Amino acid sequence: SNAATKLYRVVNNTERILAIELFNATQALEFRKQKTGLKSSDAIESFVEEYRKEVNFVKEDEIMYKLMHKSVEFLDNIEIVEE
């Protein structure tokens, strides 16, 4: 039971870390696109477009916990489909 509780916390923390990394990566892609006009692959562009429906691009400093929560929710609800 103790090991299961620890594992649950590890999985929860890992999910939060992945959500934060996803947020950072999408921010970086948007900055790159604005600065250089370069685009990513169609698959990545489509993924970011879906992500942006839930989590807005941050233009100015703001409190991030709401965006991090939305990012976690996005990961919880995303359905990955192979084409």
Q: What is the mean pLDDT of residues 10-35?
A: 96
59: which residues sit within 8 A by CB, 6+ positions away? none
Distance CA 6, CA 21 (A): 22
Domain boundaries along the sequence of the chain: 2-77
User: H helices of 37-78, where?
Assistant: 42-54, 65-77
Residue 83 pLDDT level (bands cut at 50, 70, 90) = low
The single residue listed with the structure tokens 């691009």 is: 57
Q: Is the pLDDT of residue 42 over 80?
A: yes
List the structure tokens of 81: 């489909």
* The model's pTM: 0.86
Task: Write the pLDDT tens digit of every residue in 45-76.
Answer: 999 999 999 999 999 999 999 999 999 999 99
